[in-house]
Structure 1
Amino acid sequence: MISEPNNIQNIRAASRLMVRELGFMNQNLAATDYPPSAVHSMLEIETHGSLTAAQLVQLLGLEKSSVSRMLAKLVEAGELKESPSAEDGRTKLLSLTGKGRDTVHNINTYADERVGAALGMLDPLTQETVSHGLSSYASALKACRENIEGNIRNNVKIVTGYHAGMIGRIAEMHGRYYAREHNFGSFFEGKVAAGLADFSGRLDKPCNQIWLAMVNERIVGSVAIDGEDLGNKEAHLRWFILDDGCRGSGVGRKLIGEAMRFCDEQSFTSVQLWTFNKLKAARRLYESFGFELSKEWEGDQWGSTITEQQFTRKII
């Protein structure tokens, strides 16, 4: 049963009002110097005792890179501490320090006072209705998100070759992600579009190929192997990108896996890729397929000065 339009509009309006009144539009939250994501992270860690970064990504529904940077700042500020997991020494558990417990205590006091004051303006029956209604609605939102993520994993289709609109779509995914996460601008997006347009005209060559992840006929990810531009029988891995809703779903591993099988079949001597040092999740994925860091330098080929990296996967 689909909710009535009036219910949808009323809930949306109420949600916007709650976001404003509870301070989520501010740069910091709950009488702290921290943004909402950091406050929520500390509250979740308090609730669970300790969590890994990966678990927080799932709980908060945020980008891995954003969560990693935020957690690093909380550790540096002395709010969190890291310790090795008893089950896997490579995994780090995050827990509150003494300072972090004091901060969370202040957050809870502030929030309890705000919510208590608002409930005090309602009669007991309405308070009970609000409590149960909000809990049910929040659970339904969570179930919808998990269902969407499951559908992506189950419904993704990997296709090859040129598809109408792919140049613009891949450039859009690059432009949006790198502008938001790393402040890249129009120079970078234009370079992606121009390079991809040139490459698309060379897809008739057997040494070149592109893979697109599709969900309901929409492109949600891409990767390409350019077998011409480096020469010396070396392949160039290019334009690896995922839509925001697909990160962590396994789609990226599927794309890279297809590209590596192609490289092995084409008998390239090696596969090269260029990236930069802040893309830690991508680096772990590359390394899992046998790529190794071969060179690192300060460069500006993407429009701003960053620590660029070259990774190499040798094919025996």
Structure 2
Amino acid sequence: MTEEHLEYRNFADFASAKVADLVPGSDQTANRLSVALNRVSHLLTYDFDATVHRPEESTWAAYRVLFVIWLAGPLTPVRAAELTGMGKSAISNLLKPLLKQGYVIQEASAEDRRSKLLALTPEGTEYVNKVFPRQNELEARWAESLTSIEKDLLISLLNKLLNSPRAEEVREQRR
């Protein structure tokens, strides 16, 4: 493939071939996989933000926090960070606008009065109930190019990566 035929979609293949020339012995398949996963992740994030969340004057990141609280109930900021895959500082930064919008409240934990729990307000619940169907419709549009078997296989493979020793090491570093 020549550089004049490069596009966003085929860059992972081009990079793999180029890396093989520049760094003999490197793992081109691992490089291709990580470039492809990263690109799909960025496109998903952009699409979710642009199509669903920015029109609601919110963000994909804020929605992720609201979504885990909606499903898991009141959580400490640390637990919200773990379940969203975000850092504690990201949760802290997202919390300010969520509190200001009236979507989340902080309340003292019954077990440890020093610890704060994040809970959805009725407005936060209403927001998630309104936005989730649009979010899920967009998720379905992304997934529609795969068969049911391919979707299940991809989920299984991604979960295998999420449960790998390296993923656990990285999660530990983030704590």
Q: Which category describes the TM-score, using the shorter chain as reference length?
A: 0.5 to 0.7
**Partner amino acid, structure 2, of 1:82:** Q
- The answer on 1:47 being equivalent to 2:75 is no
Q: Is the 8 A contact 1:57 1:63 kept in 2?
A: yes
1:82–1:94 contact (8 Å) kept in structure 2: yes
Which residue of 103, 109, 122 maps to 2:127?
Answer: 103
Count of matched residue positions in the alignment of Structure 1 and Structure 2: 147
Q: CA RMSD in A?
A: 2.9
Mapped to 2, the partners of 1:49 and 1:139 lie a distance apart of 24
Percent sequence identity is: 19
Which secondary structure does the structure 2 equivalent of 1:82 belong to? strand
Given the superposition, is the C-alpha separation of residues 55 and 68 from structure 1 closer, same or farther in structure 2, using an over 3 Å criterion? same
Matched to 2:115, the amino acid is T
**1:20 lines up with 2:43 in the alignment:** yes
Higher strand fraction (1 or 2): 1
* Residue aligning to 1:217: none
Q: 1:36 aligns with which of 56, 60, 64?
A: 60
Q: How does 1:128-207 map to 2 (within 5 A)?
A: 128-140=152-164, 142-147=167-172, 149=173
Task: Using structure 1 for the length normalisation, give the TM-score.
Answer: 0.40
1:20 partner letter = L
**Candidates 1, 5, 10, aligned match of 2:33:** 10
Against the structure 1 CA distance between its residues 10 and 58, is the aligned structure 2 distance closer, same or farther, given a 3 Å change threshold?
Answer: closer
Q: Is the 8 A contact 2:81 2:88 kept in 1?
A: yes
Give the residue type in structure 1 aligned to 2:63. V
Amino acid at match of 2:29: N
Helix, strand or coil at the partner of 2:41: helix
From the superposition, tell whether residues 119 and 69 of structure 1 become closer, same or farther in structure 2 (CA, over 3 Å). closer
Distance apart, 1:79 and its partner CA: 0.4
Structure 1 distance, partners of 2:37, 2:171, is 23
Matched AA of 1:62: G
Aligned equivalents of 2:32 and 2:141: distance in 1? 26
Q: Secondary structure at the match of 2:163?
A: helix
Question: What SS is found at the alignment partner of 1:23?
Answer: helix
Q: Which one has a bigger Cα radius of gyration?
A: 1
Give the drift of 1:43: 1.3
> Residues of 2 paired with 1:95 and 1:118: CA distance?
30
Give 1:73 shift: 1.8
AA aligned opposite 1:143: E
Q: Which has the higher helix share?
A: 2
Change (3 A) 1:28 1:143: farther
Residues 138, 107 of structure 1: CA spacing in aligned structure 2 closer, same or farther, 3 A cutoff?
farther
Residue aligned with 2:34, SS: helix
The answer as to 2:145 corresponding to 1:121 is: yes
- CA displacement, residues 202-260 of structure 1 (integer Å, 9 cap, x when unaligned): xxxxxxxxxxxxxxxxxxxxxxxxxxxxxxxxxxxxxxxxxxx6xx6xxxxxxxxxxxx
Report the TM-score when normalising by structure 2. 0.67
* Moved beyond 4 Å, runs of 4+: 24-29
The residue matched to 2:46 in structure 1 has which SS?
coil
